[in-house]
Structure formats: C-alpha cells, structure tokens
C-alpha cells in the first residue's frame, strides 16, 4: 500500500493536539496526516518524534509540551510513563470524566447506530477519591542485579517495571506485596527466569475484601515446589493480621496465562469473604470479582434505575455470573431468571439467593440464545432483560434472539463502548435508546463503562 504522506521514522515535528483517542492518546494533524501521541492533551502544542509510519497515520513519542493544557496535572506515580497500566494520570480527573463520555461518542460516530447523533448522554459518574481503588493485583516477579523485583511489563516489551507503590491499588495489597518480595529475597527462593524457563516463583496475586478486610496472597509458581514456604508464611501472617489465606497456584507452561489449573492450600482459609450490596461472596484464588467494588455498586444501581422495574415484572439476567445484578433487583420484582455458561457460577448464584432468603429466582446453565426461546415456549414472558456481556460484546445469536423475542425494556451494561456501539446498530432496529450513563470504574485509565437504557419501539 502506498504511503500518502512524507513522514519518516525519527523525524521531529511540532503540531497542535485536537482531541484524545479511545486509548487516551493525543491526536493531532501534521499536513493533514493524523498523528497519535501518547501523553499529549487537547489544546496543547507539542514537539514529538515519529516512531511508526503507516499509510494513513503515524505514531510519535512526546518530546516536549510547548504550550500546556489547563487540564494537565502532575502524575502521582513515579513510574507512570514506563509502566503503561494507567493512561490518564496527567489529565485532571474532571476532564477524565468528560473524556469517558467522549470515548462513547467516538464509538457511536464510528458504527453509526440509528439516531446516534441524538442519544442522551448523561454526565459520567466518577469517584470522590479516584485513587487506591483496585482490590486485586497480579504482579510478575523477576530477579535482576539489584535483587527480587515485583511489577508489570512495560507495554510491548519484556522489560519488567518494578513497582513498590501503585497509586491505584488498595494500600494493603501493596504492603503485602512488598512484604512477600522481602521474604522471597531473605530466604533466597528461586525466582522464575523466562529465558531459561527455570526457577520457581513467577507471579504474586493479592486480593482484599473491601467490606471485610480479609486478604489473600497467592504464590503462582512454575512447579509445585515452594522452598522455605513455612518460614515465609509465619513471617507474613504475623506481620499482616489482615492476611487470612495463603495459597499456591501452579502454572508450569510458558504461556502468558497467569494462573494454572492446580491450586494448593498453604495456610488459613481457602477463600476470603466479601460483600457487595446485600450479596456475600467467598472468593477463591481464581474466582472472578469486580476490581472496583465501590463503583460496581454505583454501576448496578444505575442498571436498576434504567430497568425501572415494577413489582410484578419478570426479568431475565443474561450473563448473570454469580447473580449480583439480578439478586439486587429480585426484591423489587415478581421473578428473576438468570443464565450463564459457567456451571459453577450458576451454583454460586443459587447459593447466594438461598443465603439472602430470595425465593423468586431461577438459574440455569447455558447460553441466552438457547434458554430464552426455551423459556418462552414454556410460557415465560419477560418484561425486561439485562445484558452484561464481556468486552467482546453480545453474541450475534443472542442479538438475533433479542430482536426475535423483544421485551419492553432492555438494559445493556457495557465495559467496551466500541462493541456496545456495534451491537446498537442491530438492536436499534427494534429498540430506541433512551439514554446512556457512563460510570467510571477505572479512574486514571482510558477504560469506559456505560449503562444503556433501551425501550421497545
């Protein structure tokens, strides 16, 4: 393909920044060529060096901000630019919230669902303290000339960035991480070496219960062996009373998958307790749970508002997981039915319903596109449906099912505005979009979550 501009790798350019792209990068134009510059902000003039050239765009590295935006702030994190885990720490938080809505607008403009120019976008709901919110970390462990380090890989590289103070993590998770690194060093435990595919400790996983304070540490290892484990456990559990569970997970392959199939119980409880609204959870090392419980409660509250459920309503909770959203609605409606493809999640949902004393729920393992027609054939008519799909969006068969058997109300909880906009292209054949409500689940990052309220035409 012929390159339509004269930009070359290594070339220095100066240009004004017009807006932010969906990954939080600055976007400017140099002689009509679009240039993506991470770290640059709208209303700035910057000097940058071209790093990648493609036929219709270029990427560049920021060298200097010649004219700074009024929204530019000093990042709190010492390794912000190296780590890549956050993309927006240099942008004032109120402006981050405006950006999250803009990401949704950009996705709609790309996919163009019916009437998208007129959708009502409500202001994004942020956090009063947009720091120290993550309840779980998974940091790689490696050894270099300075000793044992824990951290994250720099984007597109095999260079581990050491992190001992992550400003978006719950403080207790960092305290225990630093304690674990200290004992690994003290007892000279063999650390995994990627190049040689040798050594033992690969990753540390730490998760804390926001409501309960219970915390779990998991050593993820290359082999079932873990030398000096009793000494390490004794030191850590005495230093950190919040630590109630220490486990080991064995991941013997060279793949990038973090956890393996075998989990060993080392000390304390096998899972930690946590609570989200009225629902109690037991979280084992591999159990899925939201990373920002405080904002998850806000997100579910917005989903309930969008559903506007009446006392006799019958509701379907597709992708129900362990039942969180559906159970929070059950008290308000006639019946909730949930489905998920993971049988253990369905068992947990049933158990959670029992624990809450909720008797008007029904859970079944399977896909929504199989179960919804089956339930309809047996006379079940839903008044509302909630979908909360993974980042890949709705399965095409499920979209076909929702169009063939529409309910009066459809609430779409999305963690990816791009796939939401794509799915709305189809759903708006039968539904009108009442409004879109963004909820900031991941402050300091470019990720955007949104609740869409749809009503039958």
Asked whether residue 290 is marked as a ligand-binding residue, the answer is: yes
Nearest-Å Rg of the Cα atoms of the chain is 24
CA distance 75 to 259: 32
Q: Using H for helix, E for strand and C for coil, what is the string for the chain?
A: CCCCCCCCCCCEEEEEEEEECCCCCEEEEECCEEEEECCCCCCCEEEEEEEEECCCEEEEEEEEEEECCCCECCCCCCCHHHHCCCCCCCECHHHHHHHHHHHHHHHHHHHCCCCHHHCCEEEEECCCCCCCCECEEEEEEEEECCEEEEEEECCCCCCEEECCCCCCECHHHHHHHHHHHHHHHHCCCCECECCCCECCEEEEEEEECCCCCCEEEEEEECCCCCCCHHHHHHHHHHHCCCEEEEEEEECCCCCCCCCCCEEEEEEECCCEEEEECCEEEEECCCCCCCCCHHHHHHHHHHHHHHHCCCCCCEEEEECCCCCHHHHHHHCCCCEEEEEECCHHHHHHHHHHHHHHCCCCEEEEECCHHHHHHHHHHCCCCCCEEEECCCCCCCCHHHHHHHHHCCCCEEEEEECCHHHHHHHHHHHCCCEEEEEEEEECCCCCCCCCEEEEEEEEC
Provide long-range contacts, Cβ within 8 A and 24+ apart, for 187-196: 187/227, 187/228, 187/231, 187/232, 188/228, 189/226, 189/227, 189/228, 189/232, 190/227, 191/141, 191/142, 191/143, 191/148, 192/141, 192/142, 192/221, 192/222, 193/142, 193/143, 194/142, 194/158, 194/254
83 catalytic residue (yes or no): no
Asked whether residue 383 is marked as a ligand-binding residue, the answer is: no
Q: Which of 86, 166, 320, 415 is catalytic?
A: 415
Asked whether residue 319 is marked as a ligand-binding residue, the answer is: yes
As annotated, the binding site for S-adenosyl-L-methionine includes 290, 319, 340, 388
- Annotated catalytic residues are 415
Binding residues, as ranges, are 290, 319, 340, 388
């Amino acid at each position: 393909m012929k390159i339509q501009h004269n930009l070359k790798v290594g070339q220095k350019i100066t240009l004004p920044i017009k807006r932010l792209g969906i990954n939080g990068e600055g976007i400017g134009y140099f002689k009509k060529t679009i240039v993506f510059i991470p770290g640059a902000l709208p209303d700035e003039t910057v000097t940058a060096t071209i790093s990648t050239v493609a036929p219709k765009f270029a990427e560049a590295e920021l060298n200097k901000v010649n004219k700074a935006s009024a929204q530019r702030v000093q990042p709190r994190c010492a390794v912000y630019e190296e780590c890549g885990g956050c993309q927006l720490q240099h942008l004032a938080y109120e402006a981050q919230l405006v950006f999250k809505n803009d990401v949704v607008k950009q996705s709609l403009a790309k996919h163009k669902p019916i009437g998208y120019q007129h959708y009502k976008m409500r202001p994004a709901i942020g956090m009063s303290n947009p720091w120290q919110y993550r309840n779980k970390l998974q940091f790689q462990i490696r050894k270099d000339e300075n000793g044992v380090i824990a951290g994250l890989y720099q984007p597109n590289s095999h260079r581990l960035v050491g992190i001992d103070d992550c400003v978006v993590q719950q403080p207790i998770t960092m305290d225990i991480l630093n304690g674990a690194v200290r004992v690994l060093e003290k007892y000279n435990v063999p650390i995994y070496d990627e190049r040689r595919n040798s050594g033992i400790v690969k990753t540390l996983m730490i998760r804390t219960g926001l409501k309960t304070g219970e915390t779990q540490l998991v050593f993820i290892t290359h082999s079932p062996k873990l030398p000096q484990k009793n000494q390490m456990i004794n030191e850590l559990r005495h230093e950190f009373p919040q630590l109630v569970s220490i486990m080991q997970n064995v991941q013997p392959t060279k793949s990038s998958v973090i956890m393996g199939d075998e989990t060993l119980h080392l000390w304390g409880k096998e899972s930690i307790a946590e609570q989200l609204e009225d629902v109690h959870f037991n979280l084992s090392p591999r159990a899925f749970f939201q990373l920002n419980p405080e904002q998850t409660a806000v997100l579910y509250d917005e989903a309930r508002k969008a559903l506007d459920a009446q006392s006799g309503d019958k509701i379907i909770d597709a992708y129900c997981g362990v039942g969180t959203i559906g159970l929070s609605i059950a008290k308000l409606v006639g019946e909730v039915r949930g489905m998920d493809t993971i049988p253990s999640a369905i068992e947990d949902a049933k158990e959670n319903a029992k624990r809450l004393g909720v008797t008007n729920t029904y859970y079944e393992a399977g896909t929504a596109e199989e179960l919804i027609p089956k339930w309809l054939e047996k006379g079940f008519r839903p008044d509302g449906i909630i979908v909360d799909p993974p980042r890949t969006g709705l399965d095409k068969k499920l979209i076909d099912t929702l169009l063939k058997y529409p309910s009066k109300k459809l609430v779409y909880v999305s963690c990816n505005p791009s796939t939401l906009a794509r799915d709305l292209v189809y759903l708006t054949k039968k539904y009108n979009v009442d409004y879109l409500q963004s909820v900031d689940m991941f402050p300091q990052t470019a990720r955007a979550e949104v609740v869409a309220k749809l009503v039958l035409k």
